[in-house]
Structure 1
Amino acid sequence: MTAQDAVSEGTDGAPYLRIDAMVWLRETLADGGDALLDLPDRKSWRHQLFEHACAYADLPVVAQLGWAMHALGEADTTVRLDTARALWRMGEHEFAGDLLRHILLSAPEQPEARHLHQDWSQWCHAPPLGGAMPCDEELRLQPLGHHHVDDFRWQYVDPDIAMLCNLPSFADTEQWHAWLDETWGGGDQALLGIWHRQWGFIGCVGLGVYEDLGFFHYWLGNEFRGYGFGPRAGRVLLNFAREHWGVRACYAKVYVSNASSQRGLAKIGFDATDIPLLGNEAMPELLMHWPADEHCSAEEAHRLFVALDIETQVALPLAHTAR
């Protein structure tokens, strides 16, 4: 059975939907216990589960099984490459590098290994934000890179994300790569993937910075909403930005009709303002401010929106516009 069979047909016990497959993989690993990862006679099971994990881009399971298979000496070059790629995408850069060097020592002319090692090395030597990866006990935030395109795609499939977050509906992979280059190219945007230690990539959090002000946004994949992951990721990023980037205050905008996002921002510490936003009469927007006890003003928000080239306009008081 190929990995494509697992996705298209759901054969041999593998569920059709990705989140169901991820749960199934974890339940199977738990039922098998340590023996599934250690005993030689479970080799066929390990390889079968590894194929399923790769098919559904379940990177934590790919890394767990692939590393066990490597340690047991039963991983071929393809398995080790898939494992190294998963570790790199998850932010486990040292483990990925160790495995890639091991592959190159045993197969120095392997072209895919050489290319992957080159890409990994370039990323590690000059990562966005200096490689900063703020985290808490479950979540890790890491700069979004071109090697995360498949992880992004799995979660971004929900069309509501693009609509509610004013993000592009990408026509193809090339458009996504161009958008990512443009996002990082201005030097004033930080875009980080939200990685759960058990479930992998679950969404994105972003912060545009101008002087000591920030503009905050985030989104989560459909299966991971309602568990508090978004507010937790937001608190991790904003606390990091305040400590390391000198961000004093932050603004976010949300559709008035999007009550769930308003609640999520409130859990981070944002408070609704009475500052009007212009430019979208069909779907009016609310401006929110963090932290709640920090002074905010229309003039400050206007200056931030102009500096970051945000399409929505902040309505200034008449006395200000008259000057």
Structure 2
Amino acid sequence: MAAQVAIAVNRKAEQVYPSIQDNLCHLHSFIKKSCVHRWLHYLCGAKNNIYASERLAILMNLRDFYREHQSRIELNHCNQLAEICQYLCDWKLLITVAQQGLVLQPNNVQLRCYLMQACWHLGDHQGAIALATRYVLDAPVQNIFYDYYQRISAWQRFSKVKKFTPSSLLQGKHIYLQPLGHQHVNDFAWQYADPRIAALCCLPLYQGGNQWHEWLAEDMEDSRRATYAVMHPEWGFIGIACLIRYRELGLFYYWLGEDFQGHGFGPDAVEMLLDHDFAYKDMKVCYAKVYEYNIPSIKAITKMGFIPLSVTAKFPFDQELFFYKGTVTDEDYLQQGFIDLMDFLGIDIQIINSKKITTLSGE
């Protein structure tokens, strides 16, 4: 099942037939000028069968192919390459390919759309708006250009109203953040394919794009939540970081796609969000919930300065550990803050500590 058809992308760990990546390597090993078209034709036809676990390796293979054969890429090759890049959400390569194709055919509508889309997805909203404006003026009969202009402009207006953290504060050394939007649906699908992500983060398994868009619409309307796409300068969207606020309290979660875990990107993303809210938005304490068997996440938040909270919970939350970070050290305040936050979020959790048992449901 293709990532762009449904969020539940291919999850199979083993495949009966040779993988797309194996076939690409075989074709790439004897590629000549006469069979560039053959290689691209094969990949275009096979893209719907690409597994999420193969995606990064295929993108690397695709970039190697482009570097080796860029000088003899023709317009029809650019169109095929752009189609593949768009499907696999390789926005950086798509920009390069679309620009090369537009040199060969400046008025190519599809390549122009690909270029606007790629800039928008990578967070270059001003660049995307500038392109859309130029294309509307150049070809006013092409409604699709005006449609892009309206969509990107609407997204910019929403971002200002939502009052996300300023983009200048979301530029890290190895990653950057941008508000999660409906345009990210396919990026999200590729990275969310690992079922462990939903299980460890207590998130839903979306059955299709419509369900995901409904979830995001609710998330965007919630003034308590600020959800960001974690972006890699080379590979684009790699995961999510979310900060939920209630009064002077916060709760965060993040997840990264399987190919990008274990490199410190998640903690970098969260620290950018927390630093801003601690400094400028009156947050005193931020909490985190982690399953006791999720050792990598426990190590990560410990390195970020989070301290274990001296509470435990009854079933079904008895396998979760709770942490906090902030300027407050009073134990009673920290425990009561956590209880208040869970209650506010509608999480019916029974907290146990050495002093008392608090039942949020009022029983």
Which bracket does the TM-score occupy, shorter chain normalised? Answer: 0.7 to 0.9
Which of 147, 152, 156 is 1:115 aligned to?
147
Q: State whether residues 8 and 16 of structure 1, in contact with CA within 8 Å, keep that contact through their aligned partners in structure 2.
A: no
Counterpart mapping for 1:87-126 below 5 A: 87-126=119-158
The equivalent of 2:85 in structure 1 is 53
Cα root mean square deviation, aligned: 2.7
- Helix, strand or coil at the partner of 1:167: coil
| Inter-partner Cα distance in structure 2 for 1:71 and 1:227 | 38
TM-score w.r.t. the length of structure 1 is 0.86
What is the CA–CA distance in structure 1 between the aligned matches of 2:242 and 2:55, rounded to whole Å? Answer: 25
Checking the alignment, whether the CA contact within 8 Å between 1:6 and 1:55 is kept in structure 2 is: no
Distance in structure 2 (CA, Å) of the matches to 1:308 and 1:230: 23
Alignment of 1:144-163 (within 5 A): 144-163=180-199
Equivalences for 1:64-79 in 2 at 5 Å? 64-70=96-102, 74=106, 76-79=108-111
Say if 1:30 and 1:151 are closer, same or farther in 2 by CA, change over 3 A.
Answer: same
**How far is 1:82 from its partner?**
1.3
Q: Does 1:132 align with 2:166?
A: yes
Which among 213, 226, 231 is matched to residue 195 of structure 1? 231
Q: Is the 8 A contact 1:87 1:93 kept in 2?
A: yes
**CA gap 1:190/1:104 in 2 versus in 1, 3 angstroms:** same
**Whole-Å separation in 1 of the counterparts to 2:346 and 2:127:** 39
Match of 2:114 among 79, 82, 94: 82
1:301 to 333, 338, 344: 338
When structure 1 is superposed on structure 2, of 293-302 and 256-265 the one drifting more is 293-302
For 1:5, the equivalent position in structure 2 comes to 45
Please state if 1:168 is matched with 2:208: no
Query: Which residue of 2 is the match for residue 246 of structure 1?
Result: 282
Q: How many aligned positions are there?
A: 311
Question: More deviation in 119-128 or 311-320?
Answer: 311-320
CA contact (8 A) 1:212 1:248 kept: yes
Q: What is the match of residue 218 of structure 1? A: 254
Gaps of 5+ in 2: 1-40
Once residues 236 and 229 of structure 1 are traced to their aligned partners in structure 2, the CA distance between those partners, rounded to angstroms, is: 11
Matched, 1:286 2:321: yes
After superposition, the Cα gap between the structure-2 partners of 1:83 and 1:6, relative to the gap in structure 1 and judged at 3 Å, is farther
Asked if the contact 1:4–1:55 (Cα under 8 Å) also holds between the matched residues in 2, the reply is no
8 Å Cα contact 1:253/1:288 also seen in 2: yes
Q: TM-score, normalised by structure 2?
A: 0.77
**Alignment identity in percent?**
30
8 Å contact kept, 1:151–1:201: yes
- Once the two structures are TM-superposed, the CA of residue 321 in structure 1 deviates from its matched residue by 5.3
The answer as to whether partners of 2:201 and 2:255 remain within 8 angstroms in 1 is yes
Report the CA distance between 1:177 and its aligned residue.
Answer: 1.4
Q: Is 206-215 or 308-317 further displaced after alignment? A: 308-317
* Aligned amino acid, residue 247 of structure 2: E
Which residue of structure 1 lines up, in the alignment, with residue 219 of structure 2?
183
Structure 1: gaps of 5 or more residues: none
1:97/1:294 CA distance change after superposition, 3 Å: farther
From the superposition, tell whether residues 261 and 321 of structure 1 become closer, same or farther in structure 2 (CA, over 3 Å). Answer: closer
AA paired with 1:112? I
Residues 262-288 of structure 1, C-alpha deviations (whole Å, 9 max, x = no match): 11212222122221123416x610001
CA deviation after TM superposition for structure 1 residue 71, in Å:
5.6
CA spacing shift, 1:65–1:244, aligned 2, 3 Å:
farther
Distance 2:209 2:136 in 1: 29
Q: Distance in 2 between matches of 1:230 and 1:186?
A: 23
Q: Tell whether the 8 Å contact from 1:77 to 1:103 is kept in structure 2 after alignment.
A: no
Q: Is the contact between residue 3 and residue 51 of structure 1 (CA under 8 Å) also seen in structure 2?
A: no
Distance 1:201 1:228 in 2: 15
Which residue of structure 2 lines up, in the alignment, with residue 18 of structure 1?
55
Deviation digits for residues 169-220 of structure 1 (CA, Å, limit 9, x no counterpart): 1122221111112222231011111011101100001111011111010001
Change (3 A) 1:71 1:130: farther
Q: Could you say what secondary structure the match of 1:88 adopts?
A: helix
